[in-house]
Structure 1
Amino acid sequence: MIIVTGASGHLGHAIVENLVGRVPANQVVASVRDPEKAADLSALSVEVRHGDFDDPESLRRAFEGARLVLIVSSNARSTGGDPLAQHRAAIEAARAAGAERIIYTSQMAASPSSVFPPALDHAATEDMLRQCGVAWTSLRHGFYAASGIMLMGDALKTGVIEAPADGKIAWTAHADLAEADAAIVAKIFLGNGERFDGPTPPLTGSEALDLADLAGIASALCSRPIRRQVPSDEDFSAKLAARGVANTVASIALGLYVASRRGEFAAVDPMLERLLNRPPISMRDVIADHIAASRD
């Protein structure tokens, strides 16, 4: 049995959808905090179980019969929660269930020396996995392309992308990552090909771009100039504070720019394309879709 946590979320739900067809649907279990939000998965013959990262007992019940457990990483840090406590609970529940392997959605910058707070959490979780006594795989995701759209803000209206100095980022589409994650999980479950022990190579799009590059792409697609404006880190932080942004969220926001300047998200690797058997979705296509949606 394959257990997928967070299956009502954007990534987890898409992974489950991609797994169905690669493995028998009756071998896939969706673990979710609110089963009603994943009711559509039942129509795919996927079993939906209640599993809450903040309720270890619910995880033990949700993981019963598990052979593989895919832990979709928590973003609790952004709301003041403790993702490490949640990940630890999930790892312990997977081990208690007798899972043969734990698979975790990590990030390409995972490192105890990163200046990007979520990367520290990913590194700490990978360390938990190393010590848990169960075979493990860490899916080192490229930076989500959706975050690039978020960082562009209201640029389509204002004609300006305003953000601190940044560096190149290997933007990667959620859809591509969900498909690749499902391919890896299915290969491991079925015993086909690579075992993917430990961290994978970076699962990234085919190019690394900074916000000036995104401004150039958007300018070309909109046929009007969109320029890049660069405030200081201090001014950026002051604006976040004036808006009442929590310190934890502000540290994540600024850490992203500082880490990108250090090249933490710049690596480009062919592994994702190999798993997909096609070129990854380009950031140009992601921006084009965003522009089209903004016109609807």
Structure 2
Amino acid sequence: MIVVTGATGGLGSATVENLLQRVPADRIGVSVRNVAGARHFADRGVRVRQGSYEDPAALRDSFAGAEQVLLVSGNDPAADLIGLHRDAIEVAVAAGAQRILYTSQQGAVPGNPYPASETHMATEAVLAESGVAWTALRNGAYGTLDQVLGPWQRTGEIAQPEDGPVPYTDRADVAEAIAVILAGDRSYRSFDGPINLTAPTAVTFDDFAAIASELTGRTIERTVLDDEQWVADQIAIGVPEQAARFMLTWYQASRAGYFADADPLLAEILGREPRSAADRLADHIAA
């Protein structure tokens, strides 16, 4: 059985949908905080059980019979995510899982100023010591373009801190690739340890401004904001300062090149080219 955690979230839910196209529903289980929120999966024959990283006892029931477990990483910066991930890994191993997949992050390497990278590196280290096969899915940034670019359609400018090249990746492509790996559709390949799943090309906000200008017929400017001014602007619109400064480290990491590499592996797994930043921006404009 393949057990997916966080199956009512964006990535987990999309992964289950892709799995349902590849394996029988009775081979899929999900571990979710709110069972009612996964009723649409239960109605299609998926085993739905309540479980969360904060409740190892419930996880033991959720993971029972699992051959593979997909651990979708936690995202609460106030929580002990490394400890929670460690507990989940231990439960998966005790349940007899033969492989654990974990949603890590591109650029999870020493020196990266983005704090989430420390969580991912530490979790990968726990996986390496777990005694079972494991795959760290170092996904490219797949947040919505609204989050990434800000209100450029209204203002005519992409006004963000200094950035660097990033292979902004479509979440749907990542979910499909994870399902392919879980279903064994590319069984001739070994997916052991960290693998990078990214869009085919890394782009900057300057590139986005040029693409947006071509797509809209308007001149979209790229305005580089001072870091502290950007933080002040975020606070002024209601973003907590701690959250703003956390996000600022992501820009600092991108400008230092920690997210610059685009990897061809996602295209290989999908058997087609992943959607590019230009593809996503065109859909965003059309929506």
TM-score range, shorter chain: over 0.9
The residue aligned with 1:260 is: 254
Instruction: Say if 2:157 and 2:221, in contact at 8 Å, map to a contact too.
Output: yes
The residue aligned with 1:239 is: 233
CA shift at 1:24, angstroms? Answer: 2.1
1:109 equivalent in alignment to 2:103 = no
The residue aligned with 2:161 is: 164
CA shift at 1:206, angstroms? Answer: 0.9
1:186 equivalent in alignment to 2:180 = no
Q: Distance in 2 between matches of 1:234 and 1:269?
A: 33
Instruction: Say if 2:101 and 2:136, in contact at 8 Å, map to a contact too.
Output: yes
The residue aligned with 2:9 is: 9
Corresponding residue pairs, total:
287
Q: Distance in 1 between matches of 2:84 and 2:144?
A: 23
Instruction: Say if 1:3 and 1:63, in contact at 8 Å, map to a contact too.
Output: yes
CA RMSD of aligned residues (A): 1.6
Superposed CA offset, 1:102-121 (max 9, x none)? 11111111123211111121
Instruction: Say if 1:118 and 1:252, in contact at 8 Å, map to a contact too.
Output: no
Instruction: Say if 2:231 and 2:241, in contact at 8 Å, map to a contact too.
Output: no
Instruction: Say if 2:202 and 2:261, in contact at 8 Å, map to a contact too.
Output: yes
The residue aligned with 2:275 is: 281
1:275 counterpart letter in structure 2: I
Identity %: 47
CA shift at 1:148, angstroms? Answer: 3.8
The residue aligned with 1:32 is: 32
CA shift at 1:247, angstroms? Answer: 4.6
1:75 counterpart letter in structure 2: N
1:96 to 91, 94, 97: 94
Q: Distance in 2 between matches of 1:193 and 1:28?
A: 22
| Ranges in structure 2 where 5+ consecutive residues have no aligned partner | none
Q: Distance in 1 between matches of 2:187 and 2:67?
A: 16
| Ranges in structure 1 where 5+ consecutive residues have no aligned partner | none
Q: Distance in 1 between matches of 2:32 and 2:45?
A: 16
Q: Distance in 2 between matches of 1:99 and 1:248?
A: 38
CA shift at 1:25, angstroms? Answer: 1.6
Instruction: Say if 2:186 and 2:269, in contact at 8 Å, map to a contact too.
Output: no
Task: Tell me the SS of whatever aligns to 1:99.
Answer: coil
CA shift at 1:243, angstroms? Answer: 4.6
Between 1:128-137 and 1:7-16, the stretch displaced more is 128-137
Q: Distance in 1 between matches of 2:201 and 2:190?
A: 27
> What does 1:114-263 correspond to in 2, within 5 Å?
114-144=112-142, 146-187=143-184, 192-200=187-195, 202-243=196-237, 245-263=239-257
Superposed CA offset, 1:182-231 (max 9, x none)? 111111xx89222311111x211111101111111112111111111111
Q: Distance in 1 between matches of 2:237 and 2:87?
A: 34
Q: Distance in 2 between matches of 1:256 and 1:131?
A: 28
Task: Tell me the SS of whatever aligns to 2:161.
Answer: coil
TM-score under structure 1 length normalisation: 0.92
Instruction: Say if 1:87 and 1:125, in contact at 8 Å, map to a contact too.
Output: yes
Between 1:94-103 and 1:83-92, the stretch displaced more is 83-92
Instruction: Say if 1:20 and 1:44, in contact at 8 Å, map to a contact too.
Output: no
TM-score under structure 2 length normalisation: 0.95
CA shift at 1:36, angstroms? Answer: 1.2
Instruction: Say if 1:103 and 1:139, in contact at 8 Å, map to a contact too.
Output: yes
CA shift at 1:159, angstroms? Answer: 0.6
Q: Distance in 1 between matches of 2:242 and 2:45?
A: 40
| CA spacing shift, 1:218–1:191, aligned 2, 3 Å | closer
